[in-house]
């Protein structure tokens, strides 16, 4: 199956899509450092990025320069999130960095069987409710274009009338939005993101977002009911923390239950960093596993506890954010995550190298889609496409 990756960044979602069995006909990214990261890994022969046809430029020029790919199965990408970020200026449609219109333009031109769009949780804020609906309706009816100088609210009204008309004509997509916590899918990070998945209506796909596979309750059971978490990490009983307040009922329920939890435990920072040496004692075999001094706590920026999933890594605007990119050590002190540790938290393979200085590399990682989460979503979309096409082929054979 063929895919086109937009706003590829350092390649997290694109790698997940590749692992799901799609072959990229184009990987589009304008940022110099992100492009250098992809090129560096191609030069090193990393198997997940070999053969990627990288387009280092503006997504709005891609089709003019490269042509329109035929019979495209998937368009995937995460349009720049700053217009909707909790830490940004929240300008949404008034922000020049809003690339959702460009994504819709490419979907309209390429007519993929499906698309995967990823963005920040801030997109679901009540402040953006109308614009979030507007995005979904544009993706549902990409051929109903905004007229020159038409206010976006007027365009929204036209799209709403189309939705309620009950008549489907032209290129339309069945769109499913979902707010997810990456920790619930095996990523060692409490990273909340919005996925908007669409299938072309004529495909007649029967699809729903993948079920959660991991849970906080299962982690707490492993830590404070059976103790297997501490035993796995060889933490002696005298060094194990007390159970947090407020979970006594959960512990009691778990002890009464005879069967194991149906979900796997959340993966923690400690889980993610297994095998990495202490960077304060030297980088070991990883050149990007170097200690960065200067970490400190302040109100609202207290770091990520070792035995929970990390807080969501952030890209930052003026350097590296403190609290989101720090680890709280067992003695209560803090230090910055190294590049390699941050890559582990985003589920990038250890052999994947990031190009640029520490702050620039952390920006790439803070903007990335966790590879594992991208693979899971893309795999489910691939299965939905295969199932739909199989049903259509069978129906055609019976006709």
- Annotated active-site positions, please? 81
Asked if residues 221 and 261 have their Cβ atoms less than 8 Å apart, the reply is yes
Sign of CA dihedral 248, 251, 255, 257: positive
DSSP 152-171: HHHHHHHHHHHHHH----SS
Distance CA 18, CA 2 (A): 10
Entry field: residues in the chain: 399
DSSP category for residue 298: B
**CA 368 vs CA 107, 235, 298, 315, 343: distances in Å:** 22, 32, 26, 9, 10
Asked if residues 192 and 121 have their Cβ atoms less than 8 Å apart, the reply is yes
Asked if residues 37 and 10 have their Cβ atoms less than 8 Å apart, the reply is yes
**CA 11 vs CA 8, 29, 31, 82: distances in Å:** 5, 9, 12, 18
Kindly state the tokens that stand for 270.
């400690």
Contacts of 214 (CB under 8 A, 6+ apart): 183, 184, 185, 186, 263, 264, 265, 266, 267
């Amino acid at each position: 199956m063929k895919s086109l990756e937009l706003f590829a960044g350092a390649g997290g979602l694109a790698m997940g899509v590749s692992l799901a069995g799609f072959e990229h006909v184009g990987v589009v990214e304008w940022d110099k450092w992100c492009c250098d990261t992809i090129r560096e890994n191609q030069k090193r022969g990393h198997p997940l990025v070999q053969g990627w046809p990288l387009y280092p430029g503006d997504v709005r020029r891609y089709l003019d320069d490269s042509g329109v790919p035929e019979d495209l199965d998937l368009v995937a990408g995460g349009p720049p999130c700053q217009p909707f970020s909790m830490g940004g200026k929240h300008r949404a449609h008034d922000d020049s960095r809003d690339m959702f219109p460009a994504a819709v333009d490419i979907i309209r031109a390429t007519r993929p069987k499906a698309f995967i769009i990823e963005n920040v949780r801030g997109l679901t804020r009540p402040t953006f409710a109308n614009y979030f609906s507007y995005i979904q309706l544009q993706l549902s009816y990409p051929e109903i274009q905004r007229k020159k100088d038409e206010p976006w609210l007027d365009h929204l009204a036209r799209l709403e009338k189309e939705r309620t008309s009950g008549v489907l004509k032209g290129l339309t997509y069945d769109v499913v939005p979902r707010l997810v916590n990456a920790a619930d899918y095996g990523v060692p990070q409490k990273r909340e993101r919005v996925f908007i998945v669409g299938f072309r209506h004529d495909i007649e796909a029967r699809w729903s977002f993948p079920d959660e596979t991991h849970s906080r309750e299962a982690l707490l059971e492993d830590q404070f009911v059976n103790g297997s978490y501490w035993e796995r990490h060889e933490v002696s009983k005298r060094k194990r923390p007390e159970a947090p307040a407020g979970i006594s009922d959960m512990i009691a329920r778990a002890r009464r239950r005879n069967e194991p939890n149906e979900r796997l435990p959340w993966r923690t920072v400690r889980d993610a960093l297994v095998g990495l040496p202490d960077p304060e004692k030297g980088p070991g075999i990883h050149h990007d596993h170097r200690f960065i001094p200067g970490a400190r706590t302040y109100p609202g920026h207290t770091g990520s506890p070792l035995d929970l999933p990390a807080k969501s890594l952030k890209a930052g605007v003026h350097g590296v954010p403190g609290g989101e990119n720090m680890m709280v050590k067992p003695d209560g002190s803090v230090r910055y995550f190294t590049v390699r540790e941050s890559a582990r938290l985003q589920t990038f393979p250890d052999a994947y190298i990031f190009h640029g200085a520490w702050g620039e590399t952390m920006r790439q990682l803070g903007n990335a889609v966790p590879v594992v989460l991208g693979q899971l979503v893309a795999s489910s979309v691939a299965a939905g496409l295969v199932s739909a096409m199989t049903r259509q082929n069978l129906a055609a054979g019976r006709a």
